[in-house]
Structure 1
């Protein structure tokens, strides 16, 4: 990873901490590492400009690269130190006890070593630290002959049970890794894959047996797998009860406070599932729980989770008739440059959509023109689905603005770039929708006729308002608003209300 990339990940607080760390570490006043860090952190200068500011000559390439290398290593040391401070205290305590206990056992000081292992065992068992328990049992079995009170057969049985739990945790980790790899191929590479069939095959291959003895991290990985499956199939209704029932177990899990990082992730996944099934009140409740967990250690978690929280919070606001509040919050959020580029783009697209639904078409279109990178660049950063949504919104904005030349160009480009992919994944409805968009653009009066209404009803595969994806519903709301001659936002909320009432 480049020095620039590492430094760009620093929060302002960590940047100040690092500069203080350098100040204590530097023994001479003429050391240039602080200056180099500050120049890179501003993100205003090229590497050549920075070198010239530091050395005022082109002849110091070796000195400059040596300085960069030293700064890189110092940053790694600093980050390692602060991560150790923030690491699960139980884990670090157990590691220390095991290391010291092993040393005493090797020197035949069994009583001291055994007492330390007992302490380590109690902490590791309470925290479900299966890898560390594995080492504790291994040491106790190895030195059991020195303790007449030790029941070797019982120890071996406990060791084998822990091995099964450790194996299950590792199996889920493998499944999680494979599922994430498949998701990357679908979202970022546009590959057509039978996702659910492959996931079932992976679960079968790994012999996954779900039980309440899973570690918190394993539960998180399991819920992630289920959530990814819903993301691909757009069938969040099917996983909702499983997510909520699993959280009932997690609420009482002994490690939910110790594993706060995964706990926050789980709350976000549940809130997102409930939003996608149009249960906005419940979604907001879980977002409240998520925010409470973030606030317990904001320095550690805000940078990772706060923008994701804001995205989902404002989506809920928008679909509960609080659009102006959502727009205002998003505009304030996007004033400041953010390091979470993926979520920032999601926030930006959400603002474009909200303004479009509100009828602020020119403002919405101005924002979309600020997305100046190529589609392939955005696909690499945030995935194919985001690009398709962005392009669809742009086409609808061009319709509203009556930009005929640009409309023809973007429509043809969309069909050329995404047509084959949409057909392969069974999403021909997007292309059917665009056919009616084109009909409206060139003959707007036809959309209010009974004949047009019947054509639309017979063209789409309706799966029911309750099951329909909320974003698909939002695009259809634009077409329906033209058919019934009502505002887009009003029509959108009416469709959502209809789904909630079922």
Structure 2
């Protein structure tokens, strides 16, 4: 999808009508073709250039028309976003804009009232760059406000400059860590997370006390969680989890600005405990998340689906399969345009796994919902997610005796991922795939002791103690134990708590 079509896809039916009205008002001549192009793009007409320009020589004019439509669409979306946003940050920005207008038009008294309100909002939100603009405007027009204390205003401005510098250092450090994480993920770079974070803090001269706030803690937990997911070993980040838990416990109250990061931290704590099979602790954090979402409903759009995913996973691995499936199905009925695609895909893939582990062939219909290419899933959801999705697909087709299809998928998997897996020291995944391949060529091999021992040996690999890896191993063990994959997986997890 090109960028113009992607922008159009962001609009709902009502917004498309508003945009067409927006274009009508902007068009100065009757022969402007932007509305016609918009309508053709909506219908995905491949002959749109011929329908707008008769001569093929008018390709330059067509591309210029697309560029103008693209710019107008961006302008419309920016105005729409500004008008519809109910966030406090936008409110402070609106007050700043109107204050500047009032000051330039000799309405100083009202302007300074607006600026005082904007400053209070920006400070509460820790929007230091926005606060800088507000304070600069107050300084610039101080001479019009006889009640303003210039010395106090100057002190606030200089203190905010330090906050801007501190935040800039933290953001640079975060950007550096994200880049390192990408190298770990895609290039198989080997690093010690604790050492990496310590060196980064020293490199950018960051004080430890500056890390003890909701935003910084959320950023560190994001890095730590991704690092643990790549290594499939969540015990590696236990020290960060303990510190995060203590930080949450020590907070007397949480401001509206901090709630977003607070919910993220609770989510990571719930996920860590789930992956380490501490299901009761995971559910306690999820209860705290739900309490906050019910109290502050505006966060439900961001967190509800992922909250339900973790809740369903806890139920699934606690031996409550019906409740787990019902939770996922209900969550999927609540998907809206505001829902993140990755959250929806996570729900879909978990529902597919749950059904398959009960030998329910409805999982095949569920599997058919994943219509995008591997490249698309790698870009949107990451390499690890896509590899797991492909492995699950192979196992499901093997489970329901679609041997030819499973073999085809396995060959594609090896072509696409074998080199990557070997480069990133994931030979165990390659070996797992080779065992599946042996089964596809000779299904009775599962009853041979050498094959069973090769599978059972995988249980002693530290990284395979992860609940999802145990699920994959249990899937194959079920073939010779003549049980459902769910029964075997549950036994494996119970024995490793």
Change (3 A) 1:381 1:113: closer
Change (3 A) 1:255 1:167: farther
Instruction: Give deviations 1:233-272, integer Å, cap 9, x for gaps.
Output: 334351433443444567823233xx66656555544444
Equivalenced residues, count:
481
- The answer to whether structure 1 residue 252 and structure 2 residue 249 are counterparts is no
Which of 489, 492, 497 is the equivalent residue of 1:492? 489
Instruction: Give deviations 1:434-487, integer Å, cap 9, x for gaps.
Output: 34435555666665677766554445444399xx32211211221332353321
TM-score, with structure 1 as normaliser? 0.74
Contact 1:90 1:124 in 2 (8 A): no
Q: What's 1:130 paired with?
A: 128
- The answer to whether structure 1 residue 194 and structure 2 residue 190 are counterparts is yes
- Point out the more displaced range, 424-433 or 368-377: 368-377
Q: What's 2:391 paired with?
A: 392
Which of 465, 469, 473 is the equivalent residue of 1:472? 469
Which of 82, 85, 88 is the equivalent residue of 1:84? 82
- Which residues of 2 match residues 3-402 of structure 1 at below 5 A? 3-12=4-13, 14-19=15-20, 21=22, 33=34, 36-41=37-42, 44-49=43-48, 52=51, 67-85=65-83, 86=85, 87=87, 88-92=89-93, 95-96=96-97, 99=100, 120-135=118-133, 150=149, 152=151, 158-187=156-185, 190-195=186-191, 196=193, 198-211=196-209, 217-237=215-235, 238=238, 239-248=240-249, 252-256=253-257, 265-266=264-265, 268-278=267-277, 279=279, 280-282=282-284, 284-286=286-288, 288-289=290-291, 291-292=293-294, 295-296=297-298, 302=301, 308=306, 311-312=309-310, 314-316=312-314, 318-319=316-317, 320-322=320-322, 323-326=324-327, 328-329=329-330, 340-361=340-361, 363-365=362-364, 368=367, 371=370, 374-402=373-401
Change (3 A) 1:244 1:101: farther
Instruction: Give deviations 1:202-221, integer Å, cap 9, x for gaps.
Output: 33322233447977544543
Alpha-carbon shift at residue 273 of structure 1 (Å) = 3.6
Tell me, in whole angstroms, the C-alpha distance in 2 between the residues paired with 1:406 and 1:471.
23
Contact 1:168 1:209 in 2 (8 A): no
Tell me, in whole angstroms, the C-alpha distance in 2 between the residues paired with 1:38 and 1:493.
54
Tell me, in whole angstroms, the C-alpha distance in 2 between the residues paired with 1:461 and 1:424.
22
Alpha-carbon shift at residue 229 of structure 1 (Å) = 2.9
Contact 2:478 2:485 in 1 (8 A): yes
- The answer to whether structure 1 residue 428 and structure 2 residue 424 are counterparts is no
Segments of structure 1 that go 5 or more residues without pairing to the other structure are: none
Instruction: Give deviations 1:79-120, integer Å, cap 9, x for gaps.
Output: 22222231524522562477469869xx9x999988776555
| 3-state SS, counterpart of residue 437 of structure 1 | helix
Tell me, in whole angstroms, the C-alpha distance in 2 between the residues paired with 1:215 and 1:19.
45
Contact 2:96 2:134 in 1 (8 A): no
Tell me, in whole angstroms, the C-alpha distance in 2 between the residues paired with 1:439 and 1:330.
38
Instruction: Give deviations 1:398-436, integer Å, cap 9, x for gaps.
Output: 432445555555545544543443344343332343344
Tell me, in whole angstroms, the C-alpha distance in 2 between the residues paired with 1:112 and 1:487.
71
| 3-state SS, counterpart of residue 256 of structure 2 | coil
Tell me, in whole angstroms, the C-alpha distance in 1 between the residues paired with 2:457 and 2:217.
43
Tell me, in whole angstroms, the C-alpha distance in 2 between the residues paired with 1:439 and 1:35.
58
- Flag the structure with more relative contact order, 1 or 2, with Cα contacts below 8 A and sequence separation at least 6: 1
- C-alpha RMSD over aligned residues: 4.7
Change (3 A) 1:78 1:416: closer
